[in-house]
């Protein structure tokens, strides 16, 4: 079987879907923080829509991340690009993003459903790490597209 030049349609949909969900998580995190504070202080929360969205989105991100990892091991992947330090950095960021997609929702669930305060701290750190890694991932994609002009982003287009 030859190596594909782009990711499968399912992989592309999952990639962009997780991004949209991550944005939903970002925009609902203040409501979640308020509910978390209430829960820790009073042992109860109002269960706002923002909190419910945040919890559901996190669980869906975890499920999609597991699905994405399974696909990485069952579907042929396009060849890695770059070499040396560039390839190493790409691999570190990619692994980091997968770790965040798994640990972020797991720590959030441990905190919210299990009341584990330390898990809430891990969740906050992972959220910030996720933003950093996402920024690096986007910057690298734009660098490839507009500086190296290697059309790398075509691998993640549906058409």
Long-range contacts of 122-129 (CB under 8 A, 24+ apart): 126/100, 127/29, 129/96, 129/100
Record the tokens describing residue 19, joined without a space: 């991004």
Q: Check residue 1 and give its pLDDT.
A: 61
Write down how long the chain is. Answer: 159
CA nearest neighbour of 104 among 131, 136, 142: 131
How far from chain centre, in Å, is Cα 27?
14
Average confidence (pLDDT) per 10 residues, the chain, 159 residues: 88 96 93 91 87 96 97 90 89 96 97 94 96 96 94 91
Q: Check residue 82 and give its pLDDT.
A: 81
Burial 47-73 (b: 16+ CB within 10 A, else e): eeebbebbbebbebbbebbeebeeeee
Q: Check residue 52 and give its pLDDT.
A: 95
């Amino acid at each position: 079987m030859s190596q594909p030049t782009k990711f499968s349609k399912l992989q592309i949909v999952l990639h962009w879907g997780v991004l949209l969900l991550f944005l939903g998580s970002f925009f609902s995190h203040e409501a979640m923080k308020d509910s978390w504070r209430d829960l820790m202080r009073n042992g109860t929360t109002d269960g706002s829509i923002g909190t419910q969205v945040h919890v559901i989105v996190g669980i869906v991100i975890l499920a999609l991340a597991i699905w994405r990892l399974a696909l990485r091991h069952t579907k042929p992947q396009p060849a890695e690009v770059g070499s040396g330090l560039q390839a190493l950095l790409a691999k570190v960021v990619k692994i980091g993003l997968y770790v965040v997609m798994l640990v972020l929702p797991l720590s959030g669930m441990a905190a919210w459903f299990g009341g584990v305060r330390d898990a809430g701290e891990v969740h906050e750190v992972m959220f910030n790490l996720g933003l950093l890694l996402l920024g690096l991932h986007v910057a690298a994609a734009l660098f490839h597209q507009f500086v190296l002009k290697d059309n790398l982003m075509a691998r993640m287009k549906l058409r």
